[in-house]
């Protein structure tokens, strides 16, 4: 076995696939990897505040079971033939690899679960989400849970309950959000990848702000059961923040697919997503735009990152041309606001039902309370009218993506802002909404509305050393094209060797 302190492990440079290979070859044990990751969290977390619920002893117990099995997942296949119990199950792809869960939407039995809200302080999960079952089946060792803004409401990670998560590239700046705790943990190399979810950009914005790869899968690719059928009509999705493209693809292979009783499935991929990594993407037609919906350009650093990506894609043989996404009318914007307000009313109402009481005056942050109050004024007819408006818009996007394979923009419209910029006060409850909107003005939410896959790719850093991601929107069900292109970009402009100022 490899001892803790081995130089290869201590750099934190290995991705999850490489770490799983060490365990599979018996060069390191799951317990060693878990202890290594715990040490890394303990080193970096006091500075970054990414992990808010440590579950270290529980993780070590899981790792011991993995080592005892001999095949790496704790399922009893001691002969290591990849067929535990003779049922034809494959060898787990990430046996022994440390992992973190975002403390939002996905529940882990027996673990604190607050979704960043003082209203849920002291709440403990009583069941495992289906995604957690699949993560464990993939062999991942869950070390703890990461920080998130209250109910994932804003593009920052600064809840009153746990305090702000700091960006490893500049601890005085935001990680964006809402998967900011997971992004900080992966960027600082506490773990090679971590869970996140995305209802309007919450995987992709932190990926951009923290220099990571962030894929938002197709609607219903990963399950939300057993508690939810879907979330906000399929706007929300589950996946992860990773440093490598191959980790993202292999993890989606391990967790994807419908569960019994799901309201609908995502289209079945033609082959495993891992097989798309390294495959020739062909000559893609890529439309790009530097403009946000009001017609103005984003921050110069973001536009520069976009044009660098266009130049790179053109140099790789792809056809690039400037074009704005059609149909982003004020009516579409109003419909987005209606759905978002209604979603907040549902979230708070859901927890009122589970908690058996309404929140006290100091148990919701000002911006959440403002959204909740606005959402309670949305009628059923208002909501359905908004849904119809957005479905019409989705058809216009689908037609546009019949002419082009992908639509490219910057991921964020400004570099990561200073801490405190995307926060609210009782006197100005919508400050977080307004200020946050200036950082995420490019319409990442289009992927959530249409259900299509999208990704943020870390191709640029500005003169302050802050990462600036670029965003590709794909066709519904077509993660394959995104993974092919992402792997090509990763090879042409590698990002894995870049290291932030705060590392474990």
Q: Which residues are part of the catalytic machinery?
A: 102, 178, 202
Q: Given strand 454-461, what is the order of strands in its sheet?
A: 51-54, 141-146, 98-102, 193-198, 237-242, 213-216, 454-461, 467-473, 406-410, 285-288, 319-322
Burial grade of 295 (CB within 10 A; 0-12, 13-18, 19 or more):
exposed
Cα–Cα distance list, 312 to 125, 244, 346, 461, 478 (Å) = 46, 19, 43, 15, 22
8 Å CB contact between 4 and 39: yes
CA distance 348 to 112: 18
Cα–Cα distance list, 65 to 29, 136, 210 (Å) = 11, 12, 33
Two tokens at 170?
A: 């500049």
Two tokens at 107?
A: 């529940």
End-to-end Cα, the chain, rounded Å: 22
How remote is the C-alpha of 199 from its chain's centroid? 10
Q: Report the relative pairing of strands 319-322 and 141-146 from DSSP bridges.
A: unpaired
8 Å CB contact between 456 and 471: yes
């Amino acid at each position: 076995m490899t001892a803790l302190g081995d130089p290869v492990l201590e750099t934190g440079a290995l991705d999850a696939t490489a770490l799983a290979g060490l365990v599979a070859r018996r060069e390191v044990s799951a317990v060693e990897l878990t202890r290594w990751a715990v040490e890394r969290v303990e080193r970096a977390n006091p500075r970054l505040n990414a992990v808010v619920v440590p579950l270290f002893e529980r993780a070590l117990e899981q790792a011991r079971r993995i080592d005892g099995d001999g095949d790496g997942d704790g399922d009893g296949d001691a002969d290591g033939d990849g067929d535990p119990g003779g049922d034809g199950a494959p060898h787990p792809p990430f046996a022994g690899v440390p992992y973190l869960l975002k403390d939002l939407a996905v529940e882990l039995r027996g673990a604190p679960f607050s979704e960043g809200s003082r209203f849920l302080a002291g709440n403990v999960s009583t069941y495992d989400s289906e995604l957690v079952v699949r993560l464990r089946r993939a062999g991942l060792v869950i070390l703890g849970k990461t920080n998130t803004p209250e109910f994932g409401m804003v593009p920052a990670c600064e809840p009153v309950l746990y305090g702000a998560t700091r960006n490893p590239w500049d601890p005085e700046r935001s990680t964006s959000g809402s998967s900011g705790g997971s992004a900080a943990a992966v960027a600082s190399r506490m773990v090679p990848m971590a869970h996140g979810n995305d209802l309007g950009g919450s995987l992709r914005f932190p990926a951009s702000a923290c220099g990571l790869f962030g894929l938002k899968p197709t609607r219903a690719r990963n399950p939300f059961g057993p508690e939810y059928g879907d979330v906000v009509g399929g706007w929300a999705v589950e996946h992860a923040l990773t440093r490598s493209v191959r980790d993202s693809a292999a993890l989606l292979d391990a967790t994807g697919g419908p569960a019994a009783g799901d309201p609908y499935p995502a289209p079945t991929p033609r082959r495993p997503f891992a097989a798309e990594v390294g495959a020739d993407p062909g000559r893609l037609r890529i439309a790009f735009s530097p403009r946000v919906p009001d017609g103005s350009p984003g921050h110069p650093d973001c536009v520069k990152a976009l044009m660098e990506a266009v130049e790179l894609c053109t140099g790789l043989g792809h056809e690039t041309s400037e074009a704005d996404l059609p149909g982003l009318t004020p009516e579409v914007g109003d419909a987005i606001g209606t759905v978002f307000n209604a979603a907040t009313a549902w979230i708070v109402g859901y927890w009122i039902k589970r908690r058996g009481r309404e929140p006290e005056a100091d148990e919701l942050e000002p911006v959440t309370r403002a959204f909740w109050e606005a959402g309670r004024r949305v009628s059923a007819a208002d909501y359905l009218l908004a849904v119809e408006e957005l479905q019409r818009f989705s058809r216009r996007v689908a037609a546009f993506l019949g002419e082009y394979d992908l639509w490219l923009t910057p991921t964020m419209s400004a570099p990561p802002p200073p801490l405190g910029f995307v926060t609210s006060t009782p006197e100005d409850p919508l400050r977080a909404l307004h200020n946050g909107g200036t950082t995420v003005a490019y319409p990442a939410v289009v992927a959530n509305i249409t259900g299509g896959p999208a990704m943020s790719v870390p191709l640029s850093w500005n003169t302050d050393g802050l990462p600036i991601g670029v965003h590709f929107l794909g066709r519904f069900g077509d993660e394959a094209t995104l993974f092919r292109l992402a792997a090509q970009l990763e090879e042409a402009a590698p990002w894995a060797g870049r290291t932030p100022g705060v590392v474990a």
